[in-house]
A and B are shown apart, each in its own frame.
Chain A
Amino acid sequence: EAGVAQSPRYKIIEKRQSVAFWCNPISGHATLYWYQQILGQGPKLLIQFQNNGVVDDSQLPKDRFSAERLKGVDSTLKIQPAKLEDSAVYLCASSPRRTSGRYDNEQFFGPGTRLTVL
């Protein structure tokens, strides 16, 4: 079974430029997550999709970050314009459809995109 795919793997941009990341989850996974991991910190959830609807985007800086999940499969995360503090690894994860009565589900992580903003 193929894992979570992300591209590009690395990106270097100047501040105030725009950038987009792409994620292809494991086939059939209903839930998709984007995390931001700043150097020396743990991953922080930016946005969670259930199919193509947003479940949680409470920590997404909406003035500059946007994300979409068209047709409930692939997802893109965009930053416009980028700031120096956006330098981080952006991780995408997916999990299977929720099982009735359970409040958790294993998340499978992609390799991440390392963004450097100069």
Chain B
Amino acid sequence: KQEVTQIPAALSVPEGENLVLNCSFTDSAIYNLQWFRQDPGKGLTSLLLIQSSQREQTSGRLNASLDKSSGRSTLYIAASQPGDSATYLCAVRPSSGGYNKLIFGAGTRLAVHP
């Protein structure tokens, strides 16, 4: 059974710091991995999607890496800003067992203070 774990559960940093959020999964048979952002009272917003054949994806100050064989992904946030405060969720799409199924981790709650 696929399980997704995110570390740390919560993080509080001053503005300007570079951050690394970690995600691990138990079964390497995945189609892709996706990072989401969740703001209170709002739905999930997709940040980055990495296909199983890729090593990393970048969007602005965000960079996500994937090491499928070891079951790990990291989300790197450069020069953090207060507007980055949110919960960051990692999700994997298993390569079998159903179409377009997402299995989520519990998230990392990030607070960036001025």
Contacts and interface: CB of A to CB of B under 8 A. Distances in A.
A104 B43 contact: no
A75 interface: no
Contacts of B43: 3-4, 91, 93, 108-112
Interface residues of B, number: 23
B101 A42 contact: no
Q: Which of the listed residues B99, B100, B102, B104 has the most CB atoms from chain A within 10 Å of its own CB?
A: B100
Contacts of B66: none
Size bracket of the A interface: 20 to 34
A106 B46 contact: yes
Chain A binding surface, main DSSP class: loop
A40 B106 contact: yes
B100 A31 contact: yes
Given A42-B104, A43-B104, A55 B99 contact: yes
A95 interface: yes
B78 interface: no
Interface in B20-79: 31-32, 41-46, 49
A41 interface: yes
22 contacts: A42-B91, A42-B106, A43-B102, A43-B104, A44-B104, A45-B101, A48-B100, A55-B98, A56-B98, A91-B43, A93-B43, A98-B99, A103-B93, A103-B100, A104-B100, A105-B100, A106-B46, A106-B49, A108-B43, A109-B43, A112-B42, A112-B43
